[in-house]
Amino acid sequence: MTTSMSVGLIYFCLSVRVIFKLMKKIKEVIPKSIFKHAMRLAKKAILVALILTPIRFFLELAGIPEHVIFIIGLLWLTLGFSIYWGIQLFKEKHSYLILFFSLLIFSPISRFPVAILWWIDTRWKIGTHYSLYFDNFGQATFQQVVYGSLIQLIPGFLLGAITIMIMQNKKNITKNMNTIENE
């Protein structure tokens, strides 16, 4: 095992530990029902991400150009799930909080396969886009789990919140129209 691999593995383990400690603290402050609901929503998205990331990797290995497979990425997946969650959550009392926690759970976990694929790509010098940006496994993991998660979390929350607002407004307009018709 090389030094950079050892450092990377330590970095990875520390990142996972920090995430789980934060999640434990969040669970203590936020009511369990909100956290459980967010966890249920995130589970499906995590499963899709764990399948989607290797598919994208193998499509790139097959020689399909990056601009063609760009749409099969975690950001687009996050945006799609954010809209879906917004539609699902607009009637909930704590819809924005559930949306935020769903994204907070989903984003870092969905990024771990990318760090692993970075390691595979650099170890065997495959030559996909995964090996272009980082010097060691720890750096790749940290960048994917922290920075990559923010890249998913911020636009995902904004789009999901806009979806919730539109759905709530649509509900109010429909309710007002029914009230006017009944008068």
* pLDDT tens sequence across 9-40: 666 666 666 666 666 665 555 677 898 999 99
Closest CA to 34 of 160, 136, 118, 42: 42
Q: Would you say residue 132 has pLDDT above 80?
A: no
The whole model's pTM is what?
0.77
Task: Pull the structure tokens for residue 5.
Answer: 């691999």
What does the alpha-carbon distance between residue 97 and residue 94 come to, in Å, rounded to a whole number? 5
Q: Would you say residue 106 has pLDDT above 80?
A: yes
Question: What Å distances lie between residue 98 and 122, 127, 129, CA to CA?
Answer: 37, 39, 33
Predicted pLDDT at 9: 62
Task: Pull the structure tokens for residue 123.
Answer: 């170890």
Residue 147's CB: how many other CB atoms inside 10 A?
A: 10
Q: Do 131 and 90 contact (CB within 8 A), yes or no? A: no
Burial 40-50 (b: 16+ CB within 10 A, else e): ebbeebbebbe
E strand or H helix that includes residue 10: helix 3-29
pLDDT tens-place string over residues 32-61: 789 899 999 999 999 999 999 999 989 988
DSSP state of 131: G
For residue 69, give the amino acid letter. Answer: I
Predicted pLDDT at 12: 61
